[in-house]
Amino acid sequence: MMEEQRQEEGRRLLDAYKRHLEGYMRPQSVKTYSHTVEKFMEFVGWDVKEFTARNADDFIGRYLDGVNANGTTVSAASRNRRIAALHSFGEWLIKPMEIIERNPMDDIKRARVPVRLPKFLSEKELDRLLNSQDTTTPKGVRDRALLEFFACTGCRVSEVAGLTWDMIDIKSRTVRIIGKGNKERLVYLADDCVDWLRKYRDEVWARWKDELIKHRTEKGDDADDIAITDRVFVNSCMTPCDKVMLYRLVSHAGHTAHIKQKVYPHLLRHSFGTKMVRNGANIVAIKELMGHASIATTQIYTAVTESDKKDAVMAVFNRKNQEDGDNNG
């Protein structure tokens, strides 16, 4: 009976922690954090008093080291995310819950994550992607506007999925973006993006809206009672495009453009950051435009340009060596 009571109390505590996370975290992060904490609570028999550094370290060694269920190695980044989940749980138990006095996770070191250079599209590939859409069709106009928006704002796919028309000021060429943690920022639209957004809004979005109203009224619905979404990117039935649909649209555009590497929304975000750095934009400005919490995240794009510089130098010297070889011959 004691064990059942302990598990019941532990699950109530877990539910309260999950509600706490939902107040400021994205759903996927809430799922990751709460799943890790649930596994740990199972590991310690649902007894929060057993939340010690020793038990946490033992849990991490058994549950987070080694390989995943699908046979892949647990990455350092994944391991660190789950350590962060337990650390967050510990902080919550201190305040506001006042169940423990010190966070045991303060004694657990996180793994060092190797810095990887981001993949991105070249200027030619990006131009080919944008120009690959059949803009004689409504969906082609929408997809061109979508690609232009991704390319010139560097927004995350979740931010584009949540975009509404009242967030876009065509006149001032600005867009109010709601990013991670509900943080708001302004991004700016290039001329081509403005033109395609306007064309999409006036010729496609408005047309799909009118067709929906006509269809519904013919079925007997009152036009005033028909709810119309204000989301920017929708399908022909005026259903908002979610993150999965946006991913598919961008991926399909990559196939249409015959781009060898896989094309996806975050690749366009990386392409934006890389292009901004290459063209001499201020790193702090790029950080703000991309909505990074830390400038360290933004600085990964400077590493790409360092690689570009090295390639340029090697190309010059290789060319000179070739010329010397030709002269000696």
> Taking the complete model, does pTM exceed 0.75, yes or no?
no
Instruction: Summarize pLDDT for 227-240 with one digit per residue, the tens.
Output: 899 999 999 999 99
Instruction: Summarize pLDDT for 167-196 with one digit per residue, the tens.
Output: 999 999 999 999 987 899 999 999 999 999
Task: Clarify whether 269 is annotated catalytic.
Answer: yes
Q: Are 206 and 235 in contact (CB under 8 A)?
A: no
Instruction: List, by residue range, all CATH 1.10.443.10 domains of the chain.
Output: 123-307
User: Which tokens hold the place of 97?
Assistant: 């819950």
Please state, in angstroms and rounded to a whole number, the distance separating the CA atoms of residues 262 and 227. Answer: 37
Instruction: List, by residue range, all CATH 1.10.150.130 domains of the chain.
Output: 2-107
Query: Looking at domain 123-307, what is its CATH homologous superfamily?
Result: Intergrase catalytic core (1.10.443.10)
Task: Clarify whether 266 is annotated catalytic.
Answer: yes
Task: Clarify whether 6 is annotated catalytic.
Answer: no
Please state, in angstroms and rounded to a whole number, the distance separating the CA atoms of residues 9 and 244. Answer: 37
User: 6, 18, 173, 180: which is the annotated catalytic residue?
Assistant: 180
Please state, in angstroms and rounded to a whole number, the distance separating the CA atoms of residues 147 and 101. Answer: 50
**Any long-range contacts for 168-172 (C-beta under 8 Å, 24+ apart)?**
168/197, 168/232, 170/194, 170/197, 170/198
Instruction: Summarize pLDDT for 23-72 with one digit per residue, the tens.
Output: 888 788 899 999 999 999 999 999 999 999 999 988 887 766 555 555 55
User: What pLDDT, on a 0 to 100 scale, did the predictor assign at position 247?
Assistant: 96
Please state, in angstroms and rounded to a whole number, the distance separating the CA atoms of residues 163 and 157. Answer: 10
In sequence order, the 6+-apart residues with CB closer than 8 A to the CB of 197 are 145, 148, 149, 168, 170, 189, 232
b/e for 92-102, b at 16 or more Cβ within 10 A?
bbeeeeeebee
Q: What's the fold here for domain 2-107?
A: DNA polymerase; domain 1 (1.10.150)
Task: Clarify whether 18 is annotated catalytic.
Answer: no
* DSSP state for residue 122 in the 8-state scheme: -
Residue with tokens 């993150």: 243
Decide: residue 105, CB within 10 A, 0-12 exposed, 13-18 middle, 19+ buried.
buried
How many CB atoms are located within 10 Å of the residue 70 CB? Answer: 5
How many CB atoms are located within 10 Å of the residue 15 CB? Answer: 11
User: 269, 270, 275, 287: which is the annotated catalytic residue?
Assistant: 269
Task: Clarify whether 292 is annotated catalytic.
Answer: yes
User: What pLDDT, on a 0 to 100 scale, did the predictor assign at position 1?
Assistant: 47
What is the number of residues in the chain?
329
How many CB atoms are located within 10 Å of the residue 161 CB? Answer: 20
Could you say which residues of the chain have pLDDT below 50?
1
User: What pLDDT, on a 0 to 100 scale, did the predictor assign at position 225?
Assistant: 80
Q: Are 160 and 298 in contact (CB under 8 A)?
A: no
User: Which tokens hold the place of 20?
Assistant: 């706490």
